[in-house]
Structure 1
Amino acid sequence: MSSHRPTLFRSFLEYYRPHWALFWGDTACAIVQAGTELAFPVILRGLADGLFSDGSEAILSNLWWICLGLVFMYAVRYGCRYFVSCWGHIMGARMESAMRRDLFDQYERFSFSYFDRHNTGDLMSRLVSDLFDIAEAAHHLPEAIIVCTIEVVGAFVVMFLINWQLALAMAVVTAVLGYWCLRVNRRMKRIFTENRERISDVNSQLEDSLGGARVVKSFANEDLERAKFGRSNDAYLGSKEAMYRAMGSYQAAAALLTGALYTIIIVFGGYLVAAGSMTVTDLATYALYVSLFTTPLQTLIDFTEMFQKARAGFKRFDEVLTTKPDIADAPHAKPLEVTRGHVRYSDVWFSYGDDVQDTHKAVLQGFDLDIEPGRTYALVGPSGGGKSTTCALLPRFYDVDRGSVTIDGQDVRDVQLGSLHRAVGLVQQDVYLFNGTIADNISYGRPDATFEEVVEAARKANIHDFVCGLPDGYETEVGERGGHLSGGQKQRIAIARVFLKDPQILVLDEATSALDNESEHAVQESLARLAEGRTTLVIAHRLSTIKDADVIVTVDGGRVAEVGTHDELLARGGTYARYYRMQFEGDRG
């Protein structure tokens, strides 16, 4: 951790800043509440040694005033308790909401490479489980620390004033057992951090199994998934058991402290009474204050679990917030200005993950390609040759290791990401539809679009007639990930979304490879209409779908192997011709 960035504690305190009024109100009420707890034994001792020893007439004549005083004191305590319980929790909820917003905003800043390295279940766990624990601690811990400190210190001061010898003996025992609790607490830090990691593993395994439910069923691998989930679940159970063993030691030490203090009061206090150094009334008052002394200590011990959970959770939260996105706007970045749509790949080298320094593992190795404005370029070649990577570099989902990608002479690393993403439209094989209506998913291309514009985009994508035939029309729910629709219908909704976005540059990444012939024909019509007048980059394994492209580029081994039209490449008899003959002969067979 660099010396200039805030400590973990200071980072946590920043979330109190918008709620200082609530925090100090909560603190003031907690102090008043603690004061009323300390007041009762003092009042009782004063009455026992004073008014209550003056005879029945004096007692009866003052009971009414005593009653009014106590009613007022406990009415104030009631109001303070309400404020702490209600507004203290609201403050914690607002802080949780702010943290959740900041965490989600940070997730949105990350590039594809971050999500390649992190499991969705772990990211969800940080957003939900960790933040809930943090919010609980944000409200309860300051209140508990303030109240318990006042009660412990106040009770000890009063006990010291009553009899310093007995108070000193109690202080020694408390210090010894407090030291033991601190040692256990240090071990609990590691255990609770491990516990948060294990629950993330459980969430990750659950998300993986449920997300692939269809594959699991198709292979009858329910038992395999149960075994995988069982391993992560057992690891979490082991972590929980270790946590509760540590908590058991902690709780037992607290119980031992309470017992030791009561034993000292009875034995040493009895000796002091016998020696005439202490009255029976003082000893009885002492017993009341021991309860006020030990109860807040027990509360603090009970809150240790909450503190350790929150600390481990906030550390994981802070790890994400302090992770610098590997793709972000450069300090000098300007909005992209697309004048013609001329795209140029110049000596591009790219590797995924940790293979950046190993040129032999580079996916793209000196890739050069000049894409003329308003024309359709099709990329073909073997799987793993670098076609999809080439397309992912254009909207800067990843950054090149060497070389450059430019649009109308502007390096994509030097323009603002928002303007770049607005200029590039993407239609992929794996269409993602959000849980909502058809209209919601189409308007995702431009959230401020009118309903008429949504309908027009649907017409251009050849999906309007199908939508009108549904009982709820454009208000039809698509289901999770578009589960209520066929592959072709989802593709055309995705195309309508891009029509509405109206980008200057278009990327089609195997947009029809998973469709049947009828669906493919409808989608191809939509794509052809979408590509009109735009610079278009197409990836396709079915060579029959791209033979009318203006330029076909064969990509092999991370480099451009051939460039030409369909007829030119067939006549050349190279890699493209060989692939075409294989597919054509396969189709004929």
Structure 2
Amino acid sequence: MVFDRLVSPSSAALLARLARDFVKPRSVLIAWAVAWMLVLAGATVFVAHMLEPAIDGVVKGGEPNALWGIGLTIVGAFVVKAVSNYFATVLVARAGLEAVADARRRLYAHLAGLDLGFFQAHPVPSLAARFTVDLFQLRYAVSDGLTSLGRDLMTLVGLVAYTFWLDPVMAALAYGALPLAIVPIGRLGRRVRRAAGRTQAELGRLNARLTETLRGIRMVKLYGAEAVERERVHGLIGTVRKLTFRAERTRALVTPIMELFVGIAAGAAVLYGGEQVLAGRVSAGALASFLGALMLAYQPAKRLANLHTSLQEGLAAAERLYEILDRAPLVQEAPEARPLVPGSGTVRLETVSFSYPARGEAGGPAALDDVSLTLAPGQVVALVGPSGAGKSTVLTLIARFYDPSAGRVLVDDQDVRTVTLASLWERLALVGQDVVLFDDTVRANIAYGRPDVPLAAIEAAARQAGAHDFIMDLPQGYDTPLGERGARLSGGQRQRLSIARAFLKDAPILLLDEPTSALDAASEQVVQEALARLTQGRATLIIAHRLETIAHADRILVMQDGRIVEQGSHTDLAARGGLYTRLLTATRTGA
């Protein structure tokens, strides 16, 4: 009944899941910690017990040597308490840190396997806060929970049992006020959990806003948006402050409640016990021992009461953790999936239709509608069309970041839904307009995913991409750190590293997503030459807005509203007077 007041069924289920997933694997560590906690609890009860002979010895005028013995025994008990408390605390801290590290590993592994739609709906900085803010709270909930449920609970049980052994009536009177504390503490814990959940969500929003504005600080300054962004950030900071203060204010009520309970308990014990001493039925030492046990029980009782509120904060973090861990990716390997059998690198879309999940739920138009195309080895096929025509969706489906709503995507005559994702991705290389570089060396960025590739192969790929010369001009050559997102390089240099990465992978199918759209004329020329070398012998699908860059393509597919409306060579389509002609005219006039 008391447990039900403090812990709701949903909280109990969540606690059981946390214990099964992250605490149970550390059972040996925790068993040793519990053993030390038992020693600590026993030493604490022994200290309270030794007060009786100490006081009675003084009152009755006992031998000094006996008092010395009692005093040294009490000192020894405190030494045992100190040693056992140290080892218990260290073991619990280790178990808690290992549990949180395990949670972080599981969270990252699961996140990495989720579909692109999830990341489009959840800002990355907000997700990063799950690893820091949320799991920071979870770590202390686990550590505090193990410590309190072990050390404090056992100590409290031992002291309470000892007081009942001394005098059951006096103990019953002292603890009669306990139910009065349980109900408000339970309510306070639920309020803290709600506030903690909101606080963690707002901290995620604040983290996302800070990341966006600091990364785009040039745009913020040039567009005079500093004041606007400052107000937004200040507003989020204010919200976090209010929510945090609300939780702290609620948590602060626990101590006064416990103080009131201890005051009532001590008062009842003094009144009843004092009468018993005056009547000669109880010795002064027994009363002192009882009151000592009661006072020693105060600290573990208070920590257990505070544990309830801190545990609720941890449960709020656990809910957000499991919110992600319980989300199944939209794209999953079939149980019977087999590796893709290597072939020439032919890609086919057969009557493919597709709607993005958000659009489908909202009843919006399909991103692709009955699209069929073939991409043969050594062939360059270009996709063009207005924004939103479905060009990038075709690349997304070939890479199986989503599955089509209807139709099939085949690589070397194998439905991509029937093969393992790793074997499919091994056959693909991507060069996009947004170059992804990591805060690592040039060598590591080119060899990304292939850390054991020799430097000679990396250099050969860089030469083919036209990147070797500028790399050698960097302070440390191939060992030069690039900074966040390759900030030390120009746009053309970053793109050439991306092309070098594709050369090194040497995949038979090449996907190019507007690789030169963000480059100046000089950089574009160098990159185009590198891309011409990269596409040789590969099945290449390229998306472009600047139509002059794909005039050499073997076949151009013109898309509109998710359908292929025209196809042919650059010369044929330019003379046809259709959508391609209009797009070409708009490109040349800059319209």
Give the TM-score range, shorter chain: over 0.9
Q: Letter of the 2:401 partner, please give it.
A: F
1:269-327 Cα distance to aligned partner (Å, 9 max, x none)? 33333444433322222221111222211111232332122111111111111111111
Q: Contact 2:163–2:293 at 8 Å: present in 1 too?
A: yes
Alignment of 1:152-551 (within 5 A): 152-356=156-360, 361-444=365-448, 446-551=450-555
Which is worse superposed, 511-520 or 257-266?
257-266
* Counterpart residue number, 2:36: 29
Aligned residue pairs: how many? 580
Alignment of 1:54-133 (within 5 A): 55-56=62-63, 59-60=64-65, 62=66, 69-70=73-74, 72-133=76-137
Q: Contact 1:381–1:555 at 8 Å: present in 2 too?
A: yes
Identical pairs, percent: 35
What secondary structure sits across from 1:562 in the alignment?
strand
* Counterpart residue number, 2:16: 10
* Counterpart residue number, 1:20: 27
Q: Structure 1: how far apart are the matches of 2:208 and 2:258?
A: 37
1:367-405 Cα distance to aligned partner (Å, 9 max, x none)? 221222320001111111111111111101222122221
Q: Structure 2: how far apart are the matches of 1:262 and 1:153?
A: 17
Specify whether residues 268 and 51 from structure 1 end up closer, same or farther in structure 2 by C-alpha distance, changes over 3 A only: closer
RMSD over aligned Cα atoms: 2.2
Q: Letter of the 1:436 partner, please give it.
A: D
Q: Structure 2: how far apart are the matches of 1:248 and 1:64?
A: 42
Q: Structure 1: how far apart are the matches of 2:125 and 2:379?
A: 42
* Counterpart residue number, 1:584: 588
Q: Structure 1: how far apart are the matches of 2:98 and 2:67?
A: 46
What secondary structure sits across from 1:368 in the alignment?
strand
What secondary structure sits across from 1:347 in the alignment?
strand
Q: Contact 2:92–2:146 at 8 Å: present in 1 too?
A: no
Q: Contact 1:338–1:504 at 8 Å: present in 2 too?
A: no
Q: Contact 1:373–1:534 at 8 Å: present in 2 too?
A: yes
1:544-567 Cα distance to aligned partner (Å, 9 max, x none)? 111011111111111011111112
Q: Contact 1:338–1:407 at 8 Å: present in 2 too?
A: no
* Counterpart residue number, 2:45: 38
Which is worse superposed, 577-586 or 11-20?
577-586
1:20-74 Cα distance to aligned partner (Å, 9 max, x none)? 2111001110111111111012123134446985743xx42x5676566556544
Specify whether residues 357 and 30 from structure 1 end up closer, same or farther in structure 2 by C-alpha distance, changes over 3 A only: closer
Q: Structure 1: how far apart are the matches of 2:183 and 2:309?
A: 17
Deviation, 1:585, is: 4.6
Q: Contact 2:45–2:162 at 8 Å: present in 1 too?
A: no
Q: Structure 2: how far apart are the matches of 1:106 and 1:395?
A: 19
Which is worse superposed, 238-247 or 368-377?
238-247
* Counterpart residue number, 2:3: none
Q: Structure 1: how far apart are the matches of 2:584 and 2:163?
A: 95
1:113-170 Cα distance to aligned partner (Å, 9 max, x none)? 1101112222111111211222222223122122222222222222223222221111
Q: With structure 1 as the length reference, what TM-score do the two structures score? A: 0.93
1:520-551 Cα distance to aligned partner (Å, 9 max, x none)? 01000111101000000001111111101111
Q: Contact 2:338–2:419 at 8 Å: present in 1 too?
A: yes
Which is worse superposed, 67-76 or 546-555?
67-76
Q: Structure 2: how far apart are the matches of 1:187 and 1:472?
A: 56
Deviation, 1:84, is: 1.8
Gaps of 5+ in 1: none
Q: Structure 1: how far apart are the matches of 2:266 and 2:525?
A: 86
Which is worse superposed, 486-495 or 244-253?
244-253
Deviation, 1:483, is: 0.8
What secondary structure sits across from 2:386 in the alignment?
coil
Q: Letter of the 1:429 partner, please give it.
A: Q
Q: Structure 1: how far apart are the matches of 2:361 and 2:127?
A: 28
What secondary structure sits across from 2:556 in the alignment?
strand
Specify whether residues 16 and 177 from structure 1 end up closer, same or farther in structure 2 by C-alpha distance, changes over 3 A only: closer
Q: Contact 2:89–2:147 at 8 Å: present in 1 too?
A: no
Q: Structure 1: how far apart are the matches of 2:508 and 2:454?
A: 21
Specify whether residues 29 and 244 from structure 1 end up closer, same or farther in structure 2 by C-alpha distance, changes over 3 A only: same
Q: Letter of the 1:562 partner, please give it.
A: E
Which is worse superposed, 329-338 or 191-200?
191-200
Q: Contact 1:144–1:299 at 8 Å: present in 2 too?
A: yes
Q: Contact 1:438–1:475 at 8 Å: present in 2 too?
A: yes
Q: Structure 2: how far apart are the matches of 1:259 and 1:65?
A: 33
1:212-250 Cα distance to aligned partner (Å, 9 max, x none)? 222212212011111111222222223223212322332
Q: Contact 2:51–2:285 at 8 Å: present in 1 too?
A: no
Q: Letter of the 1:10 partner, please give it.
A: A
Q: Structure 1: how far apart are the matches of 2:153 and 2:500?
A: 63
Q: Contact 2:137–2:314 at 8 Å: present in 1 too?
A: yes
Specify whether residues 159 and 72 from structure 1 end up closer, same or farther in structure 2 by C-alpha distance, changes over 3 A only: closer
Q: Letter of the 1:114 partner, please give it.
A: F
Q: Contact 1:356–1:401 at 8 Å: present in 2 too?
A: no
What secondary structure sits across from 1:361 in the alignment?
coil
Q: Contact 1:202–1:233 at 8 Å: present in 2 too?
A: yes
Gaps of 5+ in 2: 1-8
Q: Structure 1: how far apart are the matches of 2:413 and 2:361?
A: 28
